Structure 1
Amino acid sequence: MSAAAPGPGRTGADLVVACLVAEGIEIVTGVPGTTVMDVIDGIAREPRIRFVATRHEQVAGFMADGASRAGAAPGTALVSRGPGAANLAIAVQNAYDESVPMLVLVGQVSGAIVERRAFEEMDVVATFRPMSKWAVEIHDVARIPELLQRAIRASVSGRPGPVVVSLPLDVLQHPVPDGVVAAPRWRPYPPAPAPDAVTEAARLLAGAERPVLLLGGGAVGDPGPYLALAERTGAAVVTTWMRQSLVPYKTPGYVGCLGYGAHEVTEQVVREADVLVAFGCRFSEFTTKRWTLVSDETALIHVDVDPEELGRVHPPRLALVADARLAAQALLDRAERTVGDAGRERLAGFRGCFEEATDLTADALAGDDPRGGVSGASGVRALQHVLDRPDTVLVQDAPSFVPWMQRHLRVPRARSVFGSAGGAMAWGLPAAMGIALARPRQRVVTVSGDGSFWMVAQDFETCVREGIPLVNLVMNNFAYGNTRDRQRAAHGERYLGVFYDNLDFAGFARSLGGYGARVETDDGLLPAVESALDQDRPAIIDVLQHPMYGLPPGLTPLPAR
């Protein structure tokens, strides 16, 4: 009997699995543990769900995060009580910070022994409430469909985020009463903007001489309405930090991605805007250059599905509680064609400066010294080669190499680059695994620093075991690069705790049955990438860099605050 089908002898665990099937969840990641074995057994009897066992709960959480970003929302992770749940917390916090939908199922001790400090007992709800959209514990087997499916809807509705559902062992093992079944899947329609607000926003745009559209994480998806609105109104288009993949690089009005590593011309466009329309943007610290970028003279039109975000940082001239794409389409339907020759020339000038700044020419790289290792410019050229293939996706972790990509990578297709703005090291490899599972027809390439990669390297074995053919570029400078740069800039070059030794990552890959290559010179990197992409198995490319090499020329580390 399928675990999703009604019938005699069903348990709460079977009902949990039935609810997952009803909600369209096809992949569950996790680590087996005592309190979730009944759910895992139910999944084993359900052919519509694939369970991927990882070597650490943090990896399971980041995999669920990646699967959600790639379109398989909500990514789902299953872990056991106490230590298992605690290991997952970093992924939940990161998803909450970045508004990524995620379903977390946590096994819990039985209600009969709760509050006795039972083995690995933890107050799951109290632990996760501050870092989740909703945390709930289910105490009655008959309420599993109500509460579990409500949690799933909450995760993907409004401002998305992680939800945590605690499942006591006695509830999972309890028989299901007759007539209790999974509910049909449904989703609320996203909110459209108020007509009067659209009229006023269109009026402000019509009078603008230097309009700018700022696209944040809430604007993910089809960029068509935003780009059409920009063309009609003559607005420049910029994105928030780590969201350069929201629009293709060749979009005529696109002038870059804000945040750490942004080009001066990108910041100038925002600084000089007389009307700024922000779609799904939280005005975060890096995007706003620590809240100094948006002028008080700029008329801000702020669009967000979460009313709590409106005016949190900058008082808006106009605030619209609405889905970003619906608001853009409504504005497009109402906006006048206002751009004139002067506006076109001004925007073309900004675009020309942006193209010049992103070019990997000798002038742009004056002063760059890789000190004998592989250069950042060669790394970007290799990644550009990856992205120019129509079937590839790039995932960038949180290494000191990210500013190189931010400044020089030209993204040809929307939603072809994924990056985490939450700051969690070690996100890259697991997220790439989730993205690869959600997009099996595409090749996924991830770039990590050696510090980030080595935190989760054990799950390269999971890639081999599960047949996930990732290509992992490890920018290996034998250092925690971001911290090293801060010690160099702000602490008199007193280095402590930032340098270490690494094994041969290529040999490590081969020892687990994957493909491994070690690159020590610029001319060896692109052939190694091409060879790895030709494999049908996971690969690690160990890219050796000097321990003191890192940021692009002219870029300084951000000071601690």
Structure 2
Amino acid sequence: MSERSGADLVVDCLAAEGVTHVFGLPGTTIMDVIDALARQGAIRYLSTRHEQVAGFMADGFSRGGGSLGVCLASRGPGAANLAIAVQNAHDESIPMLALIGQVPSSIVERRSFEEMDVVSTFRPMCKWAVEVHQAARIPELLQRAVRTAVTGRPGPVVLSLPLDVLQAPATAVPGPKVRFHPPAPDPAGIAEAAWLLAAAERPAIIAGGGARDPAALLDLAEAAGAPVVSTWLRKNAVPNGHPAYLGPLGYGAHEVSDRLVRDADVIVALGCRFSEFTTKRWTLVPASAQLVHVDIDPDELGRVHPPRVGLVSDATAAARALAAALAPPAAADPGRADRRRQRRDALRKEFADAATLPEAASSAAGVSSAALAHAVQVLADRDGTVLVQDVHTFGPWIARHVGFDRTGSYHASAGGAMAWGFPAAMGLALARPDQRVVSLSGDGSFWMVAQDLETCVRERIPVVNVVVNNYAYGNTRDRQRTAHDGRYHGVFLDNPDLAAYARLLGAHGARVTTDAEVGPAIEEALAQPGPGIVDVVQDRMEGLPPGLVPPAAK
């Protein structure tokens, strides 16, 4: 048996950490790791057609609740291609490990072929970046990399692996798998927050990406008699049909959802960063409100809005502690709880009326967005189906009019990276093989990663791609319409028949041009055992829900 190498040790350490999948693209400096993956059976390696796709697949795999998503790339251009996925995961607080092959240590700083300072390049866009200089330190640094990615505020970590380190003899062994429990809230802070909530007349709860336990959120909402809104693209924070839920904030939010926050006297923000879109460019949260801000990262507390009570804590632990502190309700004003619930019920009715899906206009050319939204609602209600929303102009229809009641059935990225949806759906499908994953993409986003439909076919990943095909970069088109007097430039596209493209690669393909065809075409695609495309052809000016105007660039 040949001597074990640094690359073998890397793979052993990944297996010891519970990694089951690695996504990547071959290249000279990472080939020893790929070879080590080929000589074992615990970890499945999948090659993609672009490093960006590998990174987005790792992102989706982590979101799907599988083991840690891991991606790899070779030096220089390969690493640069991976950067957008790393940056998006960092912005979204998604745990991910990126392994990057590096030039040998003996020729570093000689401007050797495809040489890049990996650590300096990636440090601003990840939680931690480090280069390994000795094979003996692989277990130590790789375990620290995994631990850093998954604990605290999650995020991507980049490990640079010089070729000589990967090829060096290695006698070290993987260390034990170590995890830390998330921090619990300070009891004195919980008591103060509970006192504020008990005295509130117009409380509001904002659930961010860090609030991942719907039951804990709803227990708090019931104990406080408070409505819940979620941050931008986090509609799955609680079941949308619950009487406490008043929708998402951000682009596409209903007026009643924004008003709830503007009128609040006490706001509890759980795992929320007060991002630009969620807060209407930091104008939504009133200065008069008493703010209870909970986040696992102390740097987030007070970054945008100074809190009355700041709690460094896991959001779920804080929600449970607050709910317990509020039960039984304070008796100082017996009518207060009734007034809060009556107010919540009235706001919920207003929200439900606003969220009702409009009927499709019969004169629409191509498929109307209203008809597509009705078909998406059917998918949202279907057991065993997961929806992944890319960055496209159809997104506000989902924010305003599609409800999700099943935990984990909806995923979207607020990082803004186009083309995230399809590869992330591939990763999610691998993490949840018992569910069917549907990706909703615009034609602009889809064509950035369309080549990896071949990866879907080759690796038998049964993702259904619903491509909203309006022959345009729709978000920019709408801004040119509203902010540039309708001077359209560089936003309209030409597309081939996407269904024919799918069939060319061995996938299922369907092309629909009328409202009546949409639902049956999606159902037919889901009935197939493998991947597919449903090409939803729209008029090139089809876009936002009625009355919605895109926010101006400032």
Whether TM-score is above 0.5 comes out as yes
CA distance in 1, matches of 2:365, 2:259: 35
Do residues 319 (structure 1) and 314 (structure 2) align? no
1:332 CA displacement:
1.6
Counterpart amino acid of 1:187?
A: R
Counterpart amino acid of 1:90?
A: I
Do residues 195 (structure 1) and 187 (structure 2) align? yes
Tell me if structure 2 keeps the 8 A contact 1:270–1:276.
Answer: yes
> What secondary structure is seen at the aligned counterpart in 1 of 2:261?
helix
Counterpart amino acid of 1:129?
A: R
Q: Residue in 2 aligned with 1:382?
A: 375
Provide Cα deviations, 1:433-470, integer angstroms capped at 9, x if missing partner: 00001011000001000000000000011000000111
CA distance in 1, matches of 2:552, 2:389: 23
Q: Residue in 1 aligned with 2:327?
A: 336
Do residues 68 (structure 1) and 69 (structure 2) align? no
CA distance in 1, matches of 2:117, 2:324: 50
Identity of aligned residues (%): 63
CA distance in 2, matches of 1:74, 1:469: 21
Provide Cα deviations, 1:43-67, integer angstroms capped at 9, x if missing partner: 1112110001000000000001111
Q: Residue in 1 aligned with 2:504?
A: 511
Q: Residue in 1 aligned with 2:460?
A: 467
Do residues 48 (structure 1) and 48 (structure 2) align? no
Tell me if structure 1 keeps the 8 A contact 2:358–2:370.
Answer: no
Question: How is 1:136-215 mapped onto 2 (pairs within 5 angstroms)?
Answer: 136-177=130-171, 180-215=172-207
Counterpart amino acid of 2:130?
A: V
Tell me if structure 1 keeps the 8 A contact 2:61–2:428.
Answer: yes
CA distance in 2, matches of 1:122, 1:230: 50
Q: Residue in 2 aligned with 1:115?
A: 109
> What secondary structure is seen at the aligned counterpart in 2 of 1:191?
coil
**Where in structure 1 are there 5+ consecutive unaligned residues?**
2-7
Counterpart amino acid of 2:543?
A: G
Provide Cα deviations, 1:157-214, integer angstroms capped at 9, x if missing partner: 111110000000000000013xx10001110111111111111111111111111111
- Match for 1:229 among 220, 234, 242? 220
- Match for 1:297 among 288, 292, 296? 288
Tell me if structure 1 keeps the 8 A contact 2:419–2:448.
Answer: yes
Provide Cα deviations, 1:201-251, integer angstroms capped at 9, x if missing partner: 11111111111111101112x211110111011010110000001111111
Query: Mean Cα displacement is larger for which, 340-349 or 409-418?
Result: 340-349
CA distance in 2, matches of 1:204, 1:103: 41
Question: How is 1:513-532 mapped onto 2 (pairs within 5 angstroms)?
Answer: 513-532=506-525
Q: Residue in 2 aligned with 1:501?
A: 494
1:337 CA displacement:
4.1
1:500 CA displacement:
1.5
CA distance in 1, matches of 2:417, 2:460: 26
Provide Cα deviations, 1:319-349, integer angstroms capped at 9, x if missing partner: 0011111111111221134463222211111
Tell me if structure 1 keeps the 8 A contact 2:226–2:341.
Answer: no
CA distance in 1, matches of 2:293, 2:143: 31
- Match for 2:351 among 349, 354, 357? 354
Do residues 424 (structure 1) and 424 (structure 2) align? no
Q: Residue in 1 aligned with 2:333?
A: none
Tell me if structure 2 keeps the 8 A contact 1:370–1:546.
Answer: no
Counterpart amino acid of 1:402?
A: G
Tell me if structure 2 keeps the 8 A contact 1:73–1:102.
Answer: no
CA distance in 2, matches of 1:370, 1:39: 57
- Match for 1:25 among 19, 23, 40? 19
1:526 CA displacement:
0.5
CA distance in 1, matches of 2:203, 2:487: 46
Q: Residue in 2 aligned with 1:533?
A: 526
Tell me if structure 1 keeps the 8 A contact 2:20–2:67.
Answer: no
CA distance in 2, matches of 1:516, 1:54: 21
Tell me if structure 2 keeps the 8 A contact 1:233–1:337.
Answer: no
- Match for 1:483 among 471, 476, 490? 476
Provide Cα deviations, 1:44-99, integer angstroms capped at 9, x if missing partner: 11211000100000000000111111112521001100000000000011111111
Query: How high is the TM-score relative to the length of structure 2?
Result: 0.97
Counterpart amino acid of 1:519?
A: V
Q: Residue in 2 aligned with 1:135?
A: 129
Counterpart amino acid of 1:224?
A: A
Provide Cα deviations, 1:262-303, integer angstroms capped at 9, x if missing partner: 001111111111110000000000000111111011100000
